[in-house]
Amino acid sequence: MTRFLKIGGMAAVLLVLFSFAGAQNDTPDTEPVLVGIEDVEFVAWLTGPESENATDVNYDIDGTDLGSMFEMDGTLYIAFGDTFGCCRPSGGGAGGRNWRTNALAYTTDRNVEDGITFDGMIVDKGGRARNVLKKRFADVTIIPTDGIAIDGRMYLHYMAVKSWDEPGHWTLNRSGWGYSDDGGETWTQPPEAVWDGDTNFGQAALVERDGYLYVFGIHGGRYGGVALARTPVDSVLDMAAYTYWDGADWVSDINAAVEIVPAPVGELSVKWNDFLGRWIMTYLDEPRRGNVIREAPTLMGPWSEPLMLVSAADYPSLYGAYLNPWASDGEVIYFNMSQWGPYNVMVMRARLVKAE
């Protein structure tokens, strides 16, 4: 994002006591099994001058943020938000030369214990990282919020920002889909494959399960709750094919979608965790001043109360905890996290504590 916003508060959880298509188990135990987080550690910078990737020298990236991840054919793709060359502002945060509204890296490095080394990035003729998604004239910026690969095609969910507003809030022109059929080199953004800017699907976390793409959505900003949509995997670009979870069933009316996790929720990520036998969700809880984690037996919930994953007391101006699909299914999970001051992305790890 192109703003650091101050962070704090704790929300109650909406329990959705239903098991439906998309559940990992037919008769799930709804009692939470995640009881704590320990051994939270910085692993390595992923981007910036201090990173192993030396992105300032190799890709003209002095600062960038976010870093959501998805896999295709044995390669991990990492999507970034607003991206700048040298030199960042003296007070920290976004800024610099050669602004790009987004960027995309790729890697086959599965040894995340010492960080992630890029194989490369999508670059221009001069070797500098370039935009993969294009903004329209009325957009301030266009930022990928998550990606997924289905049947050899890459999809990026994006938000098109109209304005940065009060801390923790921004207005969107729309959100929608871009896709690539050539390994991320070129992208198409169908004008009809969009949600209006004022919906709960302005930002997203994506999960493929049982022939459906599930979209966990929040409003533009960091103060909305999470709603859930799904569509058959062959209909990602057909907005009429989406249905929305109303607490008991899947319905076509987007306005009937219930909040499966209450506000306030910022940048979010959802993955299955084998160690817990549960889905885990990480996101920024801005009033609480930290990135938090919940777990649930099914995609619809019930999602547990949030536990602190990483506190801003330890990592000031943090945001975005994007789970690594290659390293988020065990007792130790790895995720990408941003800090506004350095305005770069770091690899983090934490150990999940399970109830005995």
Q: What is the predicted pLDDT for the residue at 28?
A: 65
pLDDT-based confidence at residue 137 (cuts at 50, 70, 90):
very high
- Token pair of 265 as six digits: 């929720």
Mean pLDDT of 259-279: 98
pLDDT over 70 (residue 22): no
Distance, in Å, from the CA atom of 23 to the CA atom of 330, rounded to the nearest integer, reads 19
CATH superfamily placement of domain 34-354: Glycosyl hydrolase domain; family 43 (2.115.10.20)
18 has a pLDDT exceeding 70: no
Strand runs (DSSP E) across 219-343, as ranges? 224-232, 243-245, 250-251, 261-265, 268-273, 278-285, 290-296, 307-311, 318-323, 332-339
pLDDT digits (tens, 9 = 90+) for 295-322: 999 999 999 999 999 999 999 999 999 9
Give percent of the chain above pLDDT 70. 92
Domain extents in the chain: 34-354
What angle is formed at CA 109 by the lines to CA 108 and CA 111, rounded to 5 degrees?
150
Q: Average model confidence (pLDDT) for the chain?
A: 93
Task: Please give the average per-residue pLDDT across 284-300, as a whole number.
Answer: 98
pLDDT band at 20 (very low <50, low <70, confident <90, very high): very low
Task: Please say if the pLDDT value at position 3 is more than 60.
Answer: no
Q: Per the structure block, which two tokens stand in for 226?
A: 């999470």
- Alpha-carbon span 206 to 227, nearest angstrom: 12
DSSP string for 305-316: PPEEEEETTTST
How confident is the model over 168-194, as a mean pLDDT? 98
- Amino acid at position 130, single letter: R
Output the pLDDT for position 327.
98
pLDDT tens, position by position, 72-111: 999 999 999 999 999 999 889 999 999 999 999 999 999 9
Instruction: Look at 1-5, 132-136, 276-280, 338-342 and tell me which has the smallest mean pLDDT.
Output: 1-5
Neighbours of 91 (CB within 10 A): 7
The average pLDDT across 181-209 equals 98
Q: Which pLDDT score, from 0 to 100, does residue 30 have?
A: 85
- Dihedral of the alpha carbons of 52, 57, 61, 66, in degrees to the nearest 10: -10
pTM score of the predicted model: 0.92
pLDDT in tens, 223-237: 999 999 999 999 999
Position 240 pLDDT exceeds 90 = yes
Is pLDDT of 5 > 80? no
pLDDT above 60 (res 13): no
Q: What is the DSSP string of 170-181?
A: EEEEEEEEEEES
